[in-house]
A and B are shown apart, each in its own frame.
Chain A
Amino acid sequence: AQSVTQLGSHVSVSEGALVLLRCNYSSSVPPYLFWYVQYPNQGLQLLLKYTSAATLVKGINGFEAEFKKSETSFHLTKPSAHMSDAAEYFCAVSEPNYKLSFGAGTTVTVRA
């Protein structure tokens, strides 16, 4: 069985500061890993995905994530937060079939 744990349900950062969202996964096989973002009253949008190529994955809006097998982690970072980054972020894992398992989500607040 596969699962995802997101550490911290809420993260508050100052504009211009580093954004770090933590995600740990469990999977019995090499996983595919995803980060999705959800803005208020909108559907989920893919930020980036890891599918066993480069361990450092770059996504949209300046976000990136690093796959660390030894730590079973896939943390999401952005060097400098922008007000528009305020949203809810979901980490998800998929074994090589089709079913995504999502974490509980982390809400990001950006302070001016």
Chain B
Amino acid sequence: GAGVSQTPSNKVTEKGKYVELRCDPISGHTALYWYRQSLGQGPEFLIYFQGTGAADDSGLPNDRFFAVRPEGSVSTLKIQRTERGDSAMYLCASSLSQGAGELFFGEGSRLTVL
């Protein structure tokens, strides 16, 4: 498809496990963003990539969270030693450029940590 694709759409895991969430942005979009949305709240910024490099990772809550984008396209958000508080919808978005460019969001990956 032409939109941002996120997999898995749903992930249930146990506390302490490792999780990977994948984002496939729109072809040609150099900017990629990860957001986290908890129930009843707006999306919160996690990390922003311009190309292969993380231009801003100031939103990552702690060192259990890490994200990569090795070839400047697909990105993976990695969460180690998951905690129940990590349960949320993880949204990925891409855009042609930074600044006022429109962000195109995927449908999200819902993570539930039991």
Chain A residues close to B by CB (< 8 Å): 4, 9, 32, 36, 41-46, 49, 51, 90, 92, 94, 96-105
Contacts and interface: CB of A to CB of B under 8 A. Distances in A.
Nearest to B9: A41
Contacts of B44: 102
B103 A100 contact: yes
Nearest to A107: B40
B21 interface: no
Contacts, number: 61
Interface stretch (B12-20, B65-73, B79-87, B94-102): B94-102
**Interface magnitude class on chain B:** 20 to 34
A100 B44 CA distance: 9
Contacts of B105: 36, 43-45
Contacts of B91: 43-44
B45 to A, nearest CB: 5
Interface of B: 4, 31, 33, 35, 40-45, 48, 50, 55-56, 91, 93, 98-100, 102-108
A43 B42 contact: no
A100 B100 contact: no
A49 B42 CA distance: 17
A51 B4 CA distance: 24
Nearest to A94: B100
B107 A99 contact: no
Nearest to A98: B98
Nearest to B98: A98
Contact of A98 (B35, B42, B48): B48
B107 A42 contact: yes
B41 A43 contact: no
B107 A102 contact: no
A99 B43 CA distance: 11
A46 B56 contact: no
B45 A101 contact: yes
A73 to B, nearest CB: 17
Contacts of B42: 4, 90, 92, 102-105
B37 to A, nearest CB: 8
**Which 10 pairs between the two chains have the least Cβ-Cβ distance?**
A102-B42, A43-B105, A98-B98, A44-B105, A51-B100, A43-B107, A32-B100, A102-B43, A104-B42, A105-B42
